[in-house]
Structure 1
Amino acid sequence: MNPGADHPMRYDLVNELHARPSPRLAAPATTVFLAFKEPGDAANRDRSLDHAHLAEIVARHGGPRPDPSDSHYQGRLGRHDLKWESHTEFVTYMAMTPGLPIRPFDPSAAAIFSDSWQDAAPGRRIAAVMVQVDVLPDDPAEIPSRIGPWFAADSLAMVWVLEESAVIASDFRIDPDGWMRFAVFVRPGVGESRIGRLVHRLVELETYRAVSMLGLGRARSLSARLNELQARLTALVDSMADDARPAEEVLHDLLPIATELEAQAAQHSFRFGATHAYQAIVSDRIDMLRETRFMQAQMLTEFMRRRYLPAMRTTSSAEARLAEMMARATRTGELLRTRVEVERRAQNQKVLERMDRRADLQLRLQHTVEGLSVVAISYYAVGLLSYALAPAAAAAGIDKTFVVAALTPLTILAVWWSMRQVRRRLHHNPAEHP
């Protein structure tokens, strides 16, 4: 085949399917798992620090050097098989060792992850899990008595998984050494790949449960803030019924509330979106276990329904409440803007009415001025004409008074007619007389 006909990312996309193979485990075995997350803005963290932290533990145990550009790593470190993965918000370390410690869930099984190395991690520990895988006893009814000292009875969940090929048990509590414990009992003959996938799903279940519940803290702080904003918004909406209060003033008071709601949405949108995504993964991992009831023990779905889902509902409720308040603020703003527009139109109408009255007064004043102008011009015109005709009137023996009396009506009529013609030309040709 001609390689030039391939899409430039064809091989990368196919290789991604095989980039993170599930681990292989044979019972008995011990798995220690850690997840580290930056406290803030983990999605935009400096990932080179994660690679440096990985390179440190690999170099300490003489393992193959990791590629700084990879988002996953698998290597043999002494007795341990190390699996490292970089995710959007966190990184995970999974160390698998054959055999079980002398004392169940002995913290010495996690010696590969020293305290000093963990303290130097770029992020903070969000999950720490220890999984012990053992062979299922001939009589599965012995399991409850065996695991009794390991777990708290009030929160213990124990189920058959994968068509009753294994039993898993956990109380989802953190032990005195800081580890969450999972006990797995597999039937003889279960393949290493299947055991590895089972353990991987368990540690993923705990990791995604932990990161999904980060939204709970955000939801609680947001709810407290929304309580304050809701009281202010309700009071503001009630004040809209007061016609004595200008709408512009109410709209001005709404602006900081709407701004605060938008800021809260921008601040919490990523975390709430991630919470929904992680919750879906938790549900998916539980479904993939295909659990069935073991004796009379509590099932994983029952535990999650009573202990986990209420936290997710709280997060969803806070998110929905924020969206509802933003919509309410938007509707209030639209009503206020409509009211402001109506008030402005009423004000503009009043302004136009006052302008009409002024124009009418100006027109009347103009007519008055025109009348006075006719009189004034006629007065001066009669005076000039009387002086001009005085010699002729004296020669004809006519008294000057009779001349002025005869000229006055004629002059007034002539001046009035002239001004009328000028005004008519101005009205008919306004463009010629700006």
Structure 2
Amino acid sequence: MFSLDDHPQRYELANELHARPSPALKAPGTAVYLAVKRPENAASRDRDADRAHLIDLLDRFGAPHPGPGANHYFGAIGRYHLKWEQHTEFVTYTVFGDGVASRAFDPAAFDVFPDDWLQTAPGKRVTSAHIRIDTMPDTEDEMNEAISKWFVSESVASTWVLERAAMIAGDFRIDPAGHMRFAAFIGKDAGDSRIGRIVQRLCEIETYKSMSMLGLPLARNLQAKLGHLDGELTHLVSAMSRDDEPAEATLDELLQISSELEDLTAATSFRLSATKAYEAIVHQRITSLREARFMDRQTLSEFMMRRYDPAMRTVKSAEKQLTAMARRSMRAGDLLRTRVDVQRSEQNQALLESMNRRADMQLRLQETVEGLSVVAISYYAVSLAGYLAYPLTDVLGISKGMLTAVLTLPVVGLVWLAVRRIRHSIEK
């Protein structure tokens, strides 16, 4: 028997790969989709509030509850089926029903979400979509006529997908009821699981497209602020080259710009990174549909290239501009700090030279005082020696003045030697 212990998260991680399977759907049918995003000022989704909101909806239909801590759910609610998924920034509800209404994209399909329940949602709607799943007509002209009737021809994208297993269409415009519209014409050979994957891809493309577009207004606002800071930074760099202002004052201004750039980086890094990730998912989901052109209409890839990619390039440009300015600010700061260090070194050198000059002056003054001290001490020493030697004048037969003169040179010499010895001992 295999007895090696499992990693504590082995089963959890393995099951995560199968946590969100695509639903099995039949044509004709209808799917209504809702994505609710957390408030902008919230650090993360309140997962307990999301589950409580889901349970409130399930209770209205007498449906069973999800398990504790669940982040996905699939089950019947009355005559419909509900798929619920919880993500990092948003939570999604998809309701599937059989058959299609006689009125295409009838807003009544969203009545499955009660108004009072919607008003208590923990967040704001980021997108909602109405997907009509219909059987494929006998001719392409019939599908083309329906597309022209349901969508804005100027922006509609329609394409064959999955080796012509289905034809999907949508104009990515919000209809009068407040929802996106998509149509899927399903071929007779398409299985239920394939239909479910097609519908799920449409929901994912719309959701991640909407989430990534949240970075566009942020990027535009960021570019406006960066334009102002770029002018200030350019002025400071020019002032550095001309040496118009003291380096310390310029360094203070540069540090202020650097701190503003750091604040902008901290405030925008999550959204800009999320936009990049969502954009990658959008293109990956479109690629997985394996498109083929339907008549002369644009494909999803072409629509995104013309309408969506420019917005994403704006976001990327703002991110690159922010990164480049932060690096410029760092390089300018390094240069300016080097200049400040050089100036301070020059000031320190001048200060040391001044201290050396003062030390020399003090030494000369000390030597002068030392000479005067020798004279003063010698004067008093000669006087004392004279008093001691005066009795010898009668013996030697000399005058007091002569005796004082004889004593002066030896006494001065002795005093000078004594003072010199004392100074050397102090220096040591």
TM-score using structure 1 length: 0.96
1:303 matched residue in structure 2: 303
Question: What amino acid maps onto 2:208 in structure 1?
Answer: Y
Secondary structure of the residue that 1:36 maps to in structure 2? strand
Kept in 1: contact 2:158–2:168 (CA 8 A): yes
CA distance in 2, matches of 1:165, 1:141: 17
CA distance in 1, matches of 2:385, 2:11: 112
Q: Output one character per residue of 1:222-255: Cα deviation in whole Å (capped at 9) or x when no partner.
A: 1111111111111111111343521001001111
1:48 matched residue in structure 2: 48
Task: Tell me the CA shift for residue 412 of structure 1.
Answer: 0.8
Q: Report the CA distance shift for 1:38/1:242 in structure 2 as closer, same or farther (over 3 A).
A: same
CA distance in 1, matches of 2:418, 2:244: 57
Secondary structure of the residue that 1:285 maps to in structure 2? helix
1:160 matched residue in structure 2: 160
CA distance in 1, matches of 2:306, 2:14: 40
Task: Tell me the CA shift for residue 382 of structure 1.
Answer: 0.4
2:224 matched residue in structure 1: 224
Query: Does residue 81 of structure 2 align to residue 84 of structure 1?
Result: no
Query: Does residue 361 of structure 2 align to residue 353 of structure 1?
Result: no
CA distance in 1, matches of 2:243, 2:147: 72
Task: Tell me the CA shift for residue 420 of structure 1.
Answer: 2.4
Question: What amino acid maps onto 1:83 in structure 2?
Answer: K
Q: Output one character per residue of 1:314-367: Cα deviation in whole Å (capped at 9) or x when no partner.
A: 000000000111111111111110000000010011111111111111111111
Question: What amino acid maps onto 1:186 in structure 2?
Answer: I
For these two proteins, the number of residue pairs brought into alignment is 428
CA distance in 1, matches of 2:78, 2:33: 17
Kept in 1: contact 2:169–2:182 (CA 8 A): yes
2:405 matched residue in structure 1: 405
Q: Report the CA distance shift for 1:14/1:241 in structure 2 as closer, same or farther (over 3 A).
A: closer
Q: Output one character per residue of 1:27-60: Cα deviation in whole Å (capped at 9) or x when no partner.
A: 0000000000023155512211111110111000
Q: Output one character per residue of 1:192-224: Cα deviation in whole Å (capped at 9) or x when no partner.
A: 000001100000000000000100011011111
Secondary structure of the residue that 1:94 maps to in structure 2? strand
Kept in 2: contact 1:394–1:400 (CA 8 A): no
Secondary structure of the residue that 2:243 maps to in structure 1? coil
Secondary structure of the residue that 1:281 maps to in structure 2? helix
1:10 matched residue in structure 2: 10
CA distance in 1, matches of 2:173, 2:268: 28
Kept in 2: contact 1:42–1:88 (CA 8 A): no
2:171 matched residue in structure 1: 171
Kept in 2: contact 1:31–1:131 (CA 8 A): yes
Kept in 1: contact 2:45–2:88 (CA 8 A): no
1:180 matched residue in structure 2: 180
1:394-433 counterparts in 2 under 5 A? Answer: 394-427=394-427, 430=428
1:57-72 counterparts in 2 under 5 A? Answer: 57-72=57-72
Q: Output one character per residue of 1:355-403: Cα deviation in whole Å (capped at 9) or x when no partner.
A: 1111111111111111111111110000001111112213443210000
Q: Report the CA distance shift for 1:42/1:141 in structure 2 as closer, same or farther (over 3 A).
A: farther
2:203 matched residue in structure 1: 203
Kept in 2: contact 1:73–1:84 (CA 8 A): yes
Question: What amino acid maps onto 2:231 in structure 1?
Answer: A
2:344 matched residue in structure 1: 344
CA distance in 2, matches of 1:55, 1:42: 22
2:256 matched residue in structure 1: 256
1:216-295 counterparts in 2 under 5 A? Answer: 216-295=216-295
Kept in 1: contact 2:211–2:275 (CA 8 A): yes
Q: Report the CA distance shift for 1:244/1:90 in structure 2 as closer, same or farther (over 3 A).
A: closer
Kept in 1: contact 2:162–2:290 (CA 8 A): yes
Kept in 1: contact 2:45–2:90 (CA 8 A): no
Kept in 2: contact 1:42–1:90 (CA 8 A): no
Question: What amino acid maps onto 1:417 in structure 2?
Answer: L
Question: What amino acid maps onto 2:77 in structure 1?
Answer: L
CA distance in 2, matches of 1:227, 1:361: 58
Secondary structure of the residue that 1:21 maps to in structure 2? coil
Kept in 1: contact 2:38–2:44 (CA 8 A): no
1:24 matched residue in structure 2: 24
Kept in 2: contact 1:167–1:185 (CA 8 A): yes
CA distance in 1, matches of 2:78, 2:72: 19
- Aligned Cα root-mean-square deviation (Å): 1.3
Secondary structure of the residue that 2:25 maps to in structure 1? coil
Question: What amino acid maps onto 2:413 in structure 1?
Answer: L
Secondary structure of the residue that 1:241 maps to in structure 2? helix
Q: Which runs of 5+ in 2 are unaligned?
A: none
Task: Tell me the CA shift for residue 153 of structure 1.
Answer: 0.6
CA distance in 1, matches of 2:220, 2:396: 117
